[in-house]
Amino acid sequence: MKKVFNYSPNFDLNKRISKQIKFLIFHYTGMRKETDAINKLTNIRYEVSTHYLIKKNGDIVVMVPDLYVAWHAGKSSWKSFKSLNKNSIGIEISNPGHEHDYINFSKKQIKSILYLSKSLIKKYKIKSGNVLGHSDIAPFRKKDPGEKFPWRYMAKFGIGKWHSLSNKILKENRLKIININEEKNFFINLFNIGYSKKVFNKKTLVKAFQRRFRQELINGKIDQECLLISQNLAKKLS
Ligand SMILES: [Zn+2]
């Protein structure tokens, strides 16, 4: 893996202090061609950027220095935080995304994500619960990095939270129906984990939760498995 520099003009001019960096946010680029994504993120006309971009070959492109606010999150929220750009570092991962041909992240990309995340988490003392996907903080607008992002594997290294339920328990509860009270509890758990309390569309929020924490089946329906996972995480994160 190489580190290369390709600076973007799209960032806030005011420099921040390192204490303001509390979140790490993962994205996919969502474009067919990697070079198009790099061009867009470094073009002043598009008004978008990221701190880092991970290429398919694992190379890390530095676009905005950590202490400047890059424009990657947009309208977003997590717990009491709003508009997360000012408090976060953005990492874009090259992948065509759901709108094109959503593909597995490459081994080289995963290796670079691990290396980069570990060093940023250590440097800025980012809590594991504050390592998130774009769809976590903007569930009604975004699907990235999506259900192919290896969250379970990353959590082994303190990169993002994961539940502690066994595969047996998970499978036994998949597709088992829930009642109205359990549905209410599910959403309360989601708010306690950090998801937005403004629910514009229940099914979309359930899908965002599944892309992150129940990647085997993204159907937008709350079942006993989703409920158990949400309970387990709500206890851990609060
Ligand atoms: Zn994104």
**Ligand 1 mean position to 221 CA, how many Å?**
24
**Ligand 1 mean position to 142 CA, how many Å?**
7
State the catalytic residues. Answer: 92
The 10s digit of each residue's pLDDT in 72-115 is: 999 999 999 999 999 999 999 999 999 999 999 999 999 999 99
Could you tell me which residues come within 8 angstroms of residue 127 by beta carbon, excluding any fewer than 6 positions away? 22
Given a cut of 80, is residue 35 above it in pLDDT? yes
**Ligand 1 mean position to 75 CA, how many Å?**
11
pTM greater than 0.95 (yes/no): yes
- In the chain, the DSSP E strands lie at 3-5, 11-15, 23-28, 52-54, 60-62, 68-70, 77-78, 81-82, 88-93, 131-133
